[in-house]
Structure 1
Amino acid sequence: MFRTLRDAFKIPDLRKKIIYTMLMFFAIRIGAHIRIPLINPAVVQNMFGNADEAGLLGMFDAFSGGAFKDMTLFAMGITPYITSSIIMNLLTIAIPKLEEMQKEGEEGRKKIAKITRYGTIVLALLQSVAISIGLGRSLFYDYNIFSVIIAVTAMTAGTAFLMWVGEQITVKGVGNGISLIIFINIISRLPFGTKKLYELATAGNKLIPVIVLLIIYVLMVTFVVLIQLGERRIPVQYAKRMQGRKVYGGQSTHIPLKVNMAGVIPVIFASSLLQFPGTITQFFGEPSGWWGSVINFLKITNISGALIYFVFILFFAYFYTSIIFNPIEVANNMKKNGGFVPGIRPGKPTVDYLSNVLNKIVLIGALALALIALLPVILSNIFDMNVTFGGTSLIIVVGVALETIKQIESQMVMRHYKGFLNA
């Protein structure tokens, strides 16, 4: 990885893109430290208490790089954009008009991207209003309509700016801009986590548990890399066909089915759904009675909550994979172009074969995701320590790093061939 970055800096065009991306990172982190006027950040910080990333607020704060807890300009982070994108993906399946738009090519994708941007602003506006009014008087030094408008405008504008920065990085920088924003925000919390572990090892007399924890995290990173890069390649053979005087087809290729096709989405969905009741209840004080028992039952630190979390991850892994990969559509496209899987007849047998292979791969990927997501929680209970860097963050950081390095390598190869041809 470091060798790839070193070689990339030797290419002027790539060097400019990397420097541009770094400057955008700097702007993001500056904005994450600019406090929203008239807001008392101590109110939000008190809501967190000892919460870690297992909680919805903790995950929200991790994605914003600590900006949410400090109530800064980028408190909302890029989360509204992610939510808007997921909603658009779901609507594309449900609404034929959007599905047709997606199949129009580049123009269709531009239209969907435009709708996603508008959806982001609407969601950011709704979320910022919910936070400002939901927390009420305690959030502001001087609670009035003027202070609420300032807070809502600042948080919505912050999200809009981050969305613009993400798109600029994608076009003028390296990698996917939105993913890199989440990446840099999560990475920015590492020094605080490292400091906390150091304090536990020295002042807390937990040197051995901290060392064991670090070794386990190194093994987890290795495991995540294997899961992210792992794929099942289904061979596809295209029959030769004549069109006029030209012969088409006859080549062999493959369909790559990634082990973790759904990415981190199942973990985010599962965590959000599980933690939503408890997070909403926090705004109204400590739960009691039967509702308090329900909230305690759903806590991920309890066996009951962990089991529900595990089932949710499996469900959303299958659900999201079914949205992004359609075996029927793939089989039909292969049949139209004269392609077939060796030993499998085109049509329904191919659909059944792809579905069968996909179900097995998704199960492996979902089990791996569940293990990675739950392991930090298990370690926290075993060693009696608050692990701040959770499985969700680990999957995102490793996945984005691998994808960005791949893009840099592909651009280096492209420029190498250009230079060879020009010579």
Structure 2
Amino acid sequence: MFVDIVKVFAKGGDGGNGMVAFRREKYVPYGGPAGGDGGRGGDVIFEVDEGLRTLMDFRYQKEFKASNGENGRSKAQHGANAEPKVIKVPPGTTIKDVETGEWIADLTKQGERAIIARGGRGGRGNMRFATPVNPAPHIAENGEPGEERWIELELKLLADVGLIGYPSVGKSTLLSVVSKARPKIGAYHFTTLVPNLGVVRIEDGRSFVMADLPGLIEGAHQGVGLGHQFLRHVERTKVLVHVIDMAGSEGRDPYEDFKQINEEIKLYRQDLENRPQIIAANKMDLPDAEDYLEMFKEQAGPDLPIYPISAATHQGMKELLYAVADLLDQVEKEQASLPVIDQAELEERKVYRSKVEEPAFTIRRENEIFVIEGKRVEKLVQMTNFNYHDSVLRFSRKLKEMGVEDALRERGAKEGDLVQIGELEFEFTESVDYE
């Protein structure tokens, strides 16, 4: 089964917790704090594997979670960082954040990688919080939660040549003749429901990858018929071979078919209109094909390369394949002559985009409870170890520094009122000076 679009959940590993510990060694009367930091959580990384051709594996596994970092240890020992979780994907995979719609990565080359969900940093141990005022703090952070997101994987085939055309014009037969691919072939529309790939080798030693792309109909750019399932794969091809039923065996006019297919491609993405294209005038072994071909040439003009073929009888196949290989060589030479941007230079460039600044926190009231929401305050709750009194005092001080206490007072909060941040509920109290 061919699968070319899936949604999966990715979560980076949580950071390890920092530790509260003290040196207790003979002859060291002032040992001091010695709690180590937690290790970093593992990243979820997607990596290209050229041996894969489909996203089939993702139909059965929808969640990918990296390991958590190790907790900090005594004697100032740092917890071990977690190994990244590497997920293999086929070349041509694009990755998009489902919630924001942002494109995260476009993976095309063998071994190319993209970090999809970053692991959280490790929490700091109490040795990090020692100050002249508090030389023996009982404070340690929990590890930072790993990043999590729903993502959409979309596979766009990486083929040199794409066969396009209406259903039942002979694309699958053509691919089976020129390569070892064995697509399903039937005398009815939409026999081919998924793209098929084949490697074509011609007599002079040249070779290229050809894709038999599912047929489309009028309105495909809006998703009619196989719609976008077909059109997304056209984007990656360097050369298009437009297969046309030149005998009009389906009762359609060949030139109208040609115009309609090109219009659908243009409406889907305007830049595809200029993709190099060769016409394969198929079914020339059938009656009326020669007459239709002459009319087609008059309507299309002299500049359009047209190659009469019959995929059923192998007529004209050699001439077509040589023309495709020559055009492909020309396209690749033109692409090679384009100026190459040095990757190091590219990485140094910074793109600044205006971003709507989110408030540090918001407060709303649910019955008698004041609910505080915001990434920063919620992360503070998650990373605070409430088992230690010093950590609780630090948590209260941080809320005051962020302006949460004043904001609650402005909303009418009084001593003893319930406040909720994430899963934490506590009573509002007037702060005191903890230093």
Does TM, normalized by the shorter one, top 0.5? no
Q: Is the strand fraction higher in 1 or 2? A: 2
Greater RCO between the two (CA within 8 Å, min separation 6)?
1
Q: Which has the higher helix share?
A: 1
TM class, shorter-chain normalised? under 0.3
TM score, norm. by length of structure 1: 0.19
Structure number with larger C-alpha Rg: 2
TM-score, normalisation: structure 2: 0.19
